[in-house]
Amino acid sequence: MNGQSAVEFATPTRVHIGLSVRDAERSATFYRHLFAQEPTKVRPGYVKFEVADPPVNLTLNTDAERQTRPGPSAHFGVQVKSTETVARIAAQLQVAGLNPYLEEAVSCCYAVQDKAWVTDPDGNAWEIFVVLEADGPDYARKKRTSGGTEAGEALQSTTCCTTECCSE
């Protein structure tokens, strides 16, 4: 991993929340009012809001199976400004025994990113990530280059931004 963020934001990090919704475009209307701003990216089944106050990167992901799973979250994350920071945090997580797995230059959620993934004790997926290219070509995960856990290996055949990608 080696790169700087292609996305500017004022704080050193910001929280990322990926919500599974029945209809991303319809849900975007609510968040336009909540944050009093327009989304920064809109694609079929995907809407992204980059909010300065509070600093959050919120994505709405259409999920046809939304009604069969409890809870609205797809995953959570912390957006950082460099691959060096992703690697540093991944090393800290490894020392703590949390066994992160890494993705390098993955095209996911219409951006190219480097990531480290971990799963919390309740099965919530968390990603530490840097956006290397802000306008990538694909929504689905297209490249997976490193890792070692069974959960990490399963990423090869899953779509991006869903709980299935990171649960153990």
Taking only the tens place, the pLDDT of each residue in 143-152 is 434 444 333 4
User: Using CA of residue 55, residue 23, residue 6, residue 80, what is the dihedral sign?
Assistant: positive
Q: Give the model's pLDDT for residue 66.
A: 60
Q: What is the mean pLDDT of residues 99-120?
A: 89
Cα–Cα distances in angstroms (integers) from residue 108 to residues 102, 113, 131, in the given order: 14, 7, 10
In the chain, which ranges are E strands?
Answer: 14-21, 41-43, 46-51, 56-62, 73-79, 101-108, 111-119, 125-133
Both tokens assigned to 14: 């910001």
Tell me the C-alpha distance between 5 and 38, whole Å: 22
Domain boundaries, the chain: 14-165
CA distance 1 to 8: 19
Does 102 or 121 have the greater pLDDT score?
102
- pLDDT value of residue 108: 81
- Highest CATH level, class, for 14-165: alpha beta
Which structure tokens are listed for 16?
């990322």
Largest CA-CA distance found in the chain, in angstroms, rounded: 42
- Over residues 58-109, the pLDDT tens digits come to 998 888 666 555 555 668 889 999 999 999 999 999 999 999 999 999 888 7
DSSP per-residue string spanning 57-73: EEEEEE-TTGGGSSSSE
* Mean pLDDT for all residues in the chain: 79
